[in-house]
Amino acid sequence: MKVDMCCGKTVLFVVLAFALALASKGYAQDAAPLVPAIITFGDSAVDVGNNNYLATLFKANYPPYGRDFINHQPTGRFCNGKLATDFTADTLGFKTYAPAYLSPQATGKNLLIGANFASAGSGYDDRTSYLNHAISLTQQLQYYREYQSKLAKVAGSKQSASIIKDAIYIVGSGSGDFLQNYYVNPLLNKVYTPEQYSSMLVNIFSSFIKNMYGLGARKFGVTSLPPLGCLPAARTLFGYHESGCVSRINTDAQQFNKKVSSAATNLQKQLPDLKIVIFDIFKPIYDLVQSPSKSGFVEATRGCCGTGTVETTVFLCNPKSPGTCSNASQYVFWDSVHPSQAANQVIADELIVQGFALL
Protein backbone atom coordinates (compact mmCIF):
# COMPACT_ATOMS: atom_id res chain seq x y z
CA MET A 1 0.00 0.00 0.00
CA LYS A 2 1.45 3.33 -1.07
CA VAL A 3 0.34 5.31 1.97
CA ASP A 4 1.95 6.18 5.27
CA MET A 5 0.97 4.64 8.58
CA CYS A 6 -1.06 7.67 9.62
CA CYS A 7 -3.33 7.39 6.60
CA GLY A 8 -3.56 3.62 7.05
CA LYS A 9 -4.73 4.05 10.65
CA THR A 10 -7.34 6.55 9.50
CA VAL A 11 -8.70 4.11 6.93
CA LEU A 12 -8.79 1.32 9.53
CA PHE A 13 -10.69 3.57 11.92
CA VAL A 14 -13.24 4.44 9.24
CA VAL A 15 -13.75 0.80 8.28
CA LEU A 16 -14.36 -0.10 11.94
CA ALA A 17 -16.78 2.81 12.20
CA PHE A 18 -18.59 1.45 9.12
CA ALA A 19 -18.95 -1.93 10.81
CA LEU A 20 -20.18 -0.46 14.08
CA ALA A 21 -22.68 1.77 12.34
CA LEU A 22 -24.14 -1.10 10.36
CA ALA A 23 -24.18 -3.41 13.38
CA SER A 24 -26.25 -0.82 15.23
CA LYS A 25 -28.74 -0.95 12.35
CA GLY A 26 -28.98 -4.71 12.46
CA TYR A 27 -27.17 -5.36 9.20
CA ALA A 28 -24.11 -7.08 10.61
CA GLN A 29 -23.54 -10.67 9.61
CA ASP A 30 -20.49 -12.89 9.70
CA ALA A 31 -18.26 -11.87 6.81
CA ALA A 32 -21.11 -9.97 5.15
CA PRO A 33 -20.32 -6.86 3.08
CA LEU A 34 -21.05 -3.58 4.82
CA VAL A 35 -23.54 -2.64 2.08
CA PRO A 36 -25.63 -5.06 0.00
CA ALA A 37 -24.49 -3.94 -3.44
CA ILE A 38 -22.35 -1.53 -5.44
CA ILE A 39 -23.86 -0.19 -8.66
CA THR A 40 -21.61 1.79 -10.96
CA PHE A 41 -22.07 4.23 -13.84
CA GLY A 42 -19.48 6.19 -15.79
CA ASP A 43 -16.47 5.96 -18.07
CA SER A 44 -13.12 4.17 -18.33
CA ALA A 45 -12.12 5.07 -14.77
CA VAL A 46 -14.75 2.60 -13.53
CA ASP A 47 -15.45 0.34 -16.54
CA VAL A 48 -14.78 -3.30 -15.60
CA GLY A 49 -15.33 -4.79 -19.04
CA ASN A 50 -18.52 -3.58 -20.73
CA ASN A 51 -16.54 -2.30 -23.71
CA ASN A 52 -15.31 -5.85 -24.34
CA TYR A 53 -18.73 -6.42 -25.88
CA LEU A 54 -18.90 -3.27 -28.01
CA ALA A 55 -17.60 -2.41 -31.47
CA THR A 56 -15.26 0.29 -30.20
CA LEU A 57 -11.54 1.00 -30.19
CA PHE A 58 -11.76 1.81 -26.47
CA LYS A 59 -10.95 -1.63 -25.11
CA ALA A 60 -8.55 -2.96 -22.49
CA ASN A 61 -9.12 -6.70 -22.77
CA TYR A 62 -5.60 -7.58 -23.88
CA PRO A 63 -2.12 -7.45 -22.35
CA PRO A 64 -0.40 -5.58 -20.84
CA TYR A 65 -3.68 -4.40 -19.24
CA GLY A 66 -4.46 -6.56 -16.23
CA ARG A 67 -0.94 -7.94 -15.86
CA ASP A 68 -1.06 -7.29 -12.07
CA PHE A 69 -4.73 -8.19 -11.67
CA ILE A 70 -6.13 -11.50 -10.37
CA ASN A 71 -4.52 -14.35 -12.34
CA HIS A 72 -2.60 -11.69 -14.29
CA GLN A 73 -5.36 -11.58 -16.89
CA PRO A 74 -6.87 -8.53 -18.64
CA THR A 75 -10.56 -8.02 -17.90
CA GLY A 76 -11.37 -4.78 -19.66
CA ARG A 77 -10.21 -2.61 -16.76
CA PHE A 78 -8.08 0.30 -17.93
CA CYS A 79 -5.28 -0.44 -15.50
CA ASN A 80 -2.48 -2.87 -14.79
CA GLY A 81 -4.52 -4.15 -11.84
CA LYS A 82 -7.36 -3.01 -9.62
CA LEU A 83 -9.42 0.14 -10.02
CA ALA A 84 -10.13 2.42 -7.08
CA THR A 85 -13.65 1.02 -7.01
CA ASP A 86 -12.25 -2.52 -6.71
CA PHE A 87 -10.27 -1.53 -3.64
CA THR A 88 -13.39 0.12 -2.24
CA ALA A 89 -15.36 -3.10 -2.75
CA ASP A 90 -12.58 -5.04 -1.00
CA THR A 91 -12.69 -2.70 1.98
CA LEU A 92 -16.47 -2.95 2.21
CA GLY A 93 -16.19 -6.72 2.47
CA PHE A 94 -17.12 -7.97 -0.99
CA LYS A 95 -15.43 -11.24 -1.99
CA THR A 96 -16.18 -10.76 -5.68
CA TYR A 97 -16.86 -7.73 -7.84
CA ALA A 98 -20.18 -6.70 -9.37
CA PRO A 99 -20.15 -7.85 -13.00
CA ALA A 100 -20.02 -5.74 -16.13
CA TYR A 101 -23.66 -5.61 -17.19
CA LEU A 102 -22.98 -6.70 -20.77
CA SER A 103 -20.92 -9.70 -19.67
CA PRO A 104 -22.21 -13.28 -19.47
CA GLN A 105 -21.57 -13.12 -15.70
CA ALA A 106 -24.33 -10.54 -15.23
CA THR A 107 -27.02 -13.05 -14.47
CA GLY A 108 -28.71 -14.89 -11.61
CA LYS A 109 -27.30 -14.51 -8.12
CA ASN A 110 -24.32 -12.53 -9.41
CA LEU A 111 -26.70 -9.57 -9.70
CA LEU A 112 -27.36 -9.54 -5.96
CA ILE A 113 -24.12 -7.64 -5.27
CA GLY A 114 -24.79 -5.03 -7.93
CA ALA A 115 -23.82 -4.35 -11.51
CA ASN A 116 -21.44 -2.14 -13.45
CA PHE A 117 -22.82 -0.13 -16.37
CA ALA A 118 -19.75 2.03 -17.04
CA SER A 119 -18.26 2.30 -20.50
CA ALA A 120 -14.88 3.66 -21.58
CA GLY A 121 -15.34 6.68 -23.81
CA SER A 122 -18.64 7.62 -22.21
CA GLY A 123 -19.53 10.87 -20.46
CA TYR A 124 -22.36 12.93 -19.09
CA ASP A 125 -22.83 14.32 -22.61
CA ASP A 126 -24.29 11.55 -24.78
CA ARG A 127 -22.48 13.04 -27.78
CA THR A 128 -19.18 12.01 -26.19
CA SER A 129 -20.38 8.41 -26.13
CA TYR A 130 -21.59 8.52 -29.71
CA LEU A 131 -18.21 9.77 -30.92
CA ASN A 132 -16.42 6.92 -29.12
CA HIS A 133 -19.00 4.18 -29.76
CA ALA A 134 -19.48 3.79 -26.02
CA ILE A 135 -22.55 3.25 -23.86
CA SER A 136 -24.13 6.64 -23.26
CA LEU A 137 -25.31 7.65 -19.82
CA THR A 138 -28.86 7.58 -21.16
CA GLN A 139 -28.36 3.96 -22.21
CA GLN A 140 -26.67 3.11 -18.92
CA LEU A 141 -29.81 4.35 -17.17
CA GLN A 142 -31.95 2.17 -19.42
CA TYR A 143 -29.78 -0.86 -18.63
CA TYR A 144 -30.24 -0.07 -14.95
CA ARG A 145 -34.01 -0.27 -15.40
CA GLU A 146 -33.51 -3.71 -16.95
CA TYR A 147 -31.26 -4.67 -14.06
CA GLN A 148 -33.98 -3.83 -11.57
CA SER A 149 -36.39 -6.16 -13.33
CA LYS A 150 -33.82 -8.96 -13.41
CA LEU A 151 -32.96 -8.41 -9.75
CA ALA A 152 -36.61 -8.66 -8.73
CA LYS A 153 -36.86 -12.03 -10.48
CA VAL A 154 -33.77 -13.32 -8.68
CA ALA A 155 -34.34 -11.88 -5.20
CA GLY A 156 -38.06 -11.21 -5.05
CA SER A 157 -39.67 -7.80 -4.88
CA LYS A 158 -39.09 -7.18 -1.17
CA GLN A 159 -35.39 -8.08 -1.09
CA SER A 160 -34.67 -6.37 -4.39
CA ALA A 161 -36.27 -3.16 -3.13
CA SER A 162 -34.07 -3.35 -0.03
CA ILE A 163 -30.95 -3.87 -2.15
CA ILE A 164 -31.84 -0.94 -4.40
CA LYS A 165 -32.44 1.34 -1.41
CA ASP A 166 -29.32 0.42 0.58
CA ALA A 167 -26.85 -0.02 -2.29
CA ILE A 168 -24.10 2.50 -2.90
CA TYR A 169 -24.19 4.04 -6.37
CA ILE A 170 -20.87 5.11 -7.83
CA VAL A 171 -20.83 7.67 -10.64
CA GLY A 172 -17.48 8.34 -12.30
CA SER A 173 -17.76 10.46 -15.42
CA GLY A 174 -16.86 13.75 -17.09
CA SER A 175 -13.20 13.34 -18.02
CA GLY A 176 -14.00 12.09 -21.50
CA ASP A 177 -16.43 14.94 -22.06
CA PHE A 178 -13.51 17.33 -21.90
CA LEU A 179 -10.51 15.35 -23.17
CA GLN A 180 -12.22 13.29 -25.85
CA ASN A 181 -14.91 15.71 -26.92
CA TYR A 182 -14.85 19.37 -25.90
CA TYR A 183 -11.13 20.14 -26.35
CA VAL A 184 -10.91 18.36 -29.70
CA ASN A 185 -14.35 19.19 -31.12
CA PRO A 186 -14.58 22.65 -32.75
CA LEU A 187 -18.35 22.23 -33.01
CA LEU A 188 -18.39 22.47 -29.23
CA ASN A 189 -15.44 24.60 -28.19
CA LYS A 190 -16.30 27.33 -30.69
CA VAL A 191 -19.88 27.51 -29.42
CA TYR A 192 -19.47 26.93 -25.67
CA THR A 193 -16.97 28.35 -23.25
CA PRO A 194 -15.57 25.77 -20.80
CA GLU A 195 -17.78 27.27 -18.11
CA GLN A 196 -20.89 26.97 -20.29
CA TYR A 197 -20.05 23.37 -21.17
CA SER A 198 -19.50 22.58 -17.49
CA SER A 199 -22.92 23.99 -16.66
CA MET A 200 -24.52 21.82 -19.33
CA LEU A 201 -22.80 18.71 -17.98
CA VAL A 202 -23.87 19.50 -14.43
CA ASN A 203 -27.48 19.91 -15.57
CA ILE A 204 -27.28 16.44 -17.12
CA PHE A 205 -25.79 15.12 -13.87
CA SER A 206 -28.67 16.60 -11.86
CA SER A 207 -31.27 15.08 -14.18
CA PHE A 208 -29.55 11.70 -13.92
CA ILE A 209 -29.60 11.77 -10.11
CA LYS A 210 -33.29 12.73 -10.13
CA ASN A 211 -34.10 9.86 -12.47
CA MET A 212 -32.15 7.42 -10.31
CA TYR A 213 -33.88 8.75 -7.19
CA GLY A 214 -37.22 8.09 -8.84
CA LEU A 215 -36.11 4.49 -9.34
CA GLY A 216 -35.30 4.07 -5.65
CA ALA A 217 -31.59 4.93 -5.42
CA ARG A 218 -30.63 6.95 -2.35
CA LYS A 219 -26.86 6.83 -1.74
CA PHE A 220 -24.46 8.23 -4.32
CA GLY A 221 -20.71 8.54 -4.38
CA VAL A 222 -19.80 10.79 -7.30
CA THR A 223 -16.19 11.34 -8.28
CA SER A 224 -15.01 14.81 -9.10
CA LEU A 225 -12.90 15.40 -12.17
CA PRO A 226 -9.23 14.60 -11.63
CA PRO A 227 -6.54 17.18 -12.48
CA LEU A 228 -7.08 16.64 -16.20
CA GLY A 229 -4.19 18.90 -17.07
CA CYS A 230 -1.78 16.60 -15.24
CA LEU A 231 -2.62 13.48 -17.23
CA PRO A 232 0.33 12.56 -19.46
CA ALA A 233 -1.87 12.57 -22.58
CA ALA A 234 -3.11 16.09 -21.80
CA ARG A 235 0.45 17.30 -21.32
CA THR A 236 1.42 15.80 -24.66
CA LEU A 237 -1.60 16.93 -26.68
CA PHE A 238 -2.46 20.27 -25.09
CA GLY A 239 0.59 21.37 -23.13
CA TYR A 240 2.62 22.65 -26.07
CA HIS A 241 5.79 23.95 -24.44
CA GLU A 242 4.26 24.45 -21.00
CA SER A 243 6.19 22.67 -18.27
CA GLY A 244 4.26 20.64 -15.71
CA CYS A 245 0.50 20.31 -15.73
CA VAL A 246 -1.64 22.25 -18.22
CA SER A 247 -3.02 24.93 -15.94
CA ARG A 248 -5.98 26.04 -18.06
CA ILE A 249 -7.30 22.47 -18.23
CA ASN A 250 -6.93 22.02 -14.48
CA THR A 251 -8.81 25.28 -14.00
CA ASP A 252 -11.66 23.97 -16.15
CA ALA A 253 -11.75 20.79 -14.06
CA GLN A 254 -11.86 22.75 -10.82
CA GLN A 255 -14.70 24.93 -12.11
CA PHE A 256 -16.68 21.81 -12.97
CA ASN A 257 -15.97 20.32 -9.55
CA LYS A 258 -17.31 23.41 -7.78
CA LYS A 259 -20.48 23.33 -9.86
CA VAL A 260 -21.17 19.64 -9.35
CA SER A 261 -20.63 20.03 -5.58
CA SER A 262 -23.12 22.89 -5.51
CA ALA A 263 -25.60 20.85 -7.57
CA ALA A 264 -25.26 17.92 -5.15
CA THR A 265 -26.02 20.19 -2.20
CA ASN A 266 -29.13 21.51 -3.95
CA LEU A 267 -30.33 18.02 -4.84
CA GLN A 268 -30.08 16.90 -1.22
CA LYS A 269 -32.24 19.85 -0.22
CA GLN A 270 -34.85 18.96 -2.83
CA LEU A 271 -35.03 15.18 -2.44
CA PRO A 272 -35.79 13.61 0.98
CA ASP A 273 -33.37 10.92 2.21
CA LEU A 274 -30.97 11.50 -0.68
CA LYS A 275 -27.28 11.26 0.24
CA ILE A 276 -24.58 12.40 -2.18
CA VAL A 277 -20.87 12.58 -1.49
CA ILE A 278 -18.70 14.24 -4.12
CA PHE A 279 -15.47 12.28 -3.89
CA ASP A 280 -12.59 14.70 -4.32
CA ILE A 281 -10.08 12.85 -6.47
CA PHE A 282 -8.55 16.08 -7.80
CA LYS A 283 -6.44 16.74 -4.73
CA PRO A 284 -5.05 13.24 -4.06
CA ILE A 285 -4.04 12.77 -7.70
CA TYR A 286 -2.63 16.29 -7.93
CA ASP A 287 -0.61 15.69 -4.77
CA LEU A 288 0.76 12.45 -6.20
CA VAL A 289 1.81 14.23 -9.37
CA GLN A 290 3.44 17.13 -7.54
CA SER A 291 5.18 15.06 -4.86
CA PRO A 292 5.26 11.42 -5.96
CA SER A 293 8.12 10.41 -3.68
CA LYS A 294 6.08 11.24 -0.55
CA SER A 295 3.89 8.23 -1.33
CA GLY A 296 6.65 6.00 -2.63
CA PHE A 297 6.29 6.68 -6.35
CA VAL A 298 9.14 7.43 -8.74
CA GLU A 299 7.46 8.66 -11.94
CA ALA A 300 4.43 10.94 -12.29
CA THR A 301 4.90 12.65 -15.65
CA ARG A 302 4.37 9.65 -17.92
CA GLY A 303 2.62 6.31 -17.82
CA CYS A 304 4.19 2.89 -17.49
CA CYS A 305 2.92 1.54 -20.81
CA GLY A 306 5.20 2.36 -23.74
CA THR A 307 6.56 5.88 -23.71
CA GLY A 308 3.68 6.78 -21.41
CA THR A 309 2.94 10.04 -23.19
CA VAL A 310 0.14 9.16 -25.60
CA GLU A 311 -0.47 5.44 -25.17
CA THR A 312 -3.91 4.31 -24.05
CA THR A 313 -6.27 1.49 -25.07
CA VAL A 314 -5.52 -0.03 -28.48
CA PHE A 315 -3.78 3.21 -29.39
CA LEU A 316 -0.21 2.06 -28.76
CA CYS A 317 -0.68 0.48 -25.31
CA ASN A 318 -0.63 -3.14 -26.39
CA PRO A 319 1.59 -6.23 -26.14
CA LYS A 320 4.01 -4.75 -28.69
CA SER A 321 4.44 -1.40 -26.92
CA PRO A 322 8.18 -0.76 -26.59
CA GLY A 323 9.62 0.47 -23.34
CA THR A 324 6.78 -0.57 -21.02
CA CYS A 325 8.07 -0.41 -17.44
CA SER A 326 8.73 -3.55 -15.42
CA ASN A 327 7.36 -2.22 -12.10
CA ALA A 328 4.11 -0.28 -12.46
CA SER A 329 3.91 0.32 -8.71
CA GLN A 330 6.55 3.03 -9.12
CA TYR A 331 4.32 4.92 -11.57
CA VAL A 332 1.37 7.16 -10.74
CA PHE A 333 -0.07 6.46 -14.19
CA TRP A 334 -0.41 3.11 -15.92
CA ASP A 335 -1.01 4.53 -19.39
CA SER A 336 -1.22 8.13 -20.55
CA VAL A 337 -4.68 8.63 -19.00
CA HIS A 338 -5.38 6.11 -16.24
CA PRO A 339 -3.81 5.72 -12.79
CA SER A 340 -1.81 2.63 -11.92
CA GLN A 341 -3.08 0.07 -9.43
CA ALA A 342 -0.78 1.57 -6.79
CA ALA A 343 -2.21 5.05 -7.37
CA ASN A 344 -5.73 3.63 -7.34
CA GLN A 345 -5.01 2.26 -3.86
CA VAL A 346 -4.17 5.77 -2.66
CA ILE A 347 -7.32 7.15 -4.30
CA ALA A 348 -9.47 4.38 -2.81
CA ASP A 349 -8.24 5.14 0.70
CA GLU A 350 -9.40 8.72 0.20
CA LEU A 351 -12.79 7.52 -1.08
CA ILE A 352 -13.38 5.34 1.97
CA VAL A 353 -12.63 8.22 4.34
CA GLN A 354 -14.90 10.60 2.42
CA GLY A 355 -17.64 8.00 1.92
CA PHE A 356 -18.47 7.48 5.59
CA ALA A 357 -21.28 10.02 5.22
CA LEU A 358 -23.17 7.66 2.93
CA LEU A 359 -24.19 5.43 5.84
Mean of the per-residue pLDDT values of the chain: 90
In a domain, 305, yes or no: no
Please, which pLDDT band fits residue 317 given cuts at 50, 70 and 90? confident
Kindly indicate the confidence band of residue 21, based on its pLDDT and cuts at 50, 70 and 90.
very low
Question: Is residue 317 situated within a structural domain?
Answer: no
Structural domain of residue 93, as residue ranges? 36-234+247-283
Q: Do the domain assignments include residue 154?
A: yes
| Catalytic residue from among 43, 252, 338, 349 | 338
Number of independent structural domains in the chain: 1
State the Cα–Cα distance between residues 68 and 81, nearest whole angstrom. Answer: 5
Position 322 confidence tier, pLDDT thresholds 50, 70, 90: confident
Q: Give yes or no: 252 in active site.
A: no
Residue 309: its pLDDT value, please? 64
**What confidence tier does 323 reach under pLDDT thresholds 50, 70, 90?**
confident
Domain of 175, CATH number, reads: 3.40.50
- Is residue 267 in a domain? yes
Average pLDDT score over residue span 200-223 = 98
Q: Is 335 a catalytic residue?
A: yes
**Per-residue pLDDT averaged across 10-24, rounded?**
48
Going by pLDDT thresholds of 50, 70 and 90, the confidence category of residue 3 is very low
Residue 148 belongs to a domain:
yes
- Residue 333's beta-bridge partner residues? 303, 339
In the 8-state DSSP scheme, what is residue 312?
A: B
Other CB atoms within a 10 A radius of the CB of residue 21 amount to: 14
- The closest alpha carbon to 264, from 131, 155, 171, 133, belongs to 171
Active-site residue (options: 44, 103, 173, 336): 44
Instruction: Answer yes or no: is pLDDT of 29 > 50.
Output: no
Q: Which one of the listed residues 335, 336, 340, 349 is annotated catalytic?
A: 335
> Rounded distance, CA 230 to CA 244, Å?
7
CB contact at 8 A, 304 and 324: yes
Rg (CA), the chain: 19
Evaluate whether residue 303 is within a structural domain.
no
44 in active site: yes
Averaged pLDDT, 196-204: 98
Which whole-number Å values give the CA distances from 3 to 183, 241, 283, 287, 292, in the listed order?
Answer: 34, 33, 15, 12, 11
Angle between helices 137-155 and 157-166 (to 10 degrees): 140
- Cα-Cα end-to-end distance for the chain: 25
> Among 1-5, 101-105, 174-178, 271-275, which is the least confidently predicted range?
1-5
303 sits in which H/E element? strand 299-303
Report in angstroms the alpha-carbon separations of 113 from 69, 141, 185, 214, 310: 20, 18, 39, 21, 36
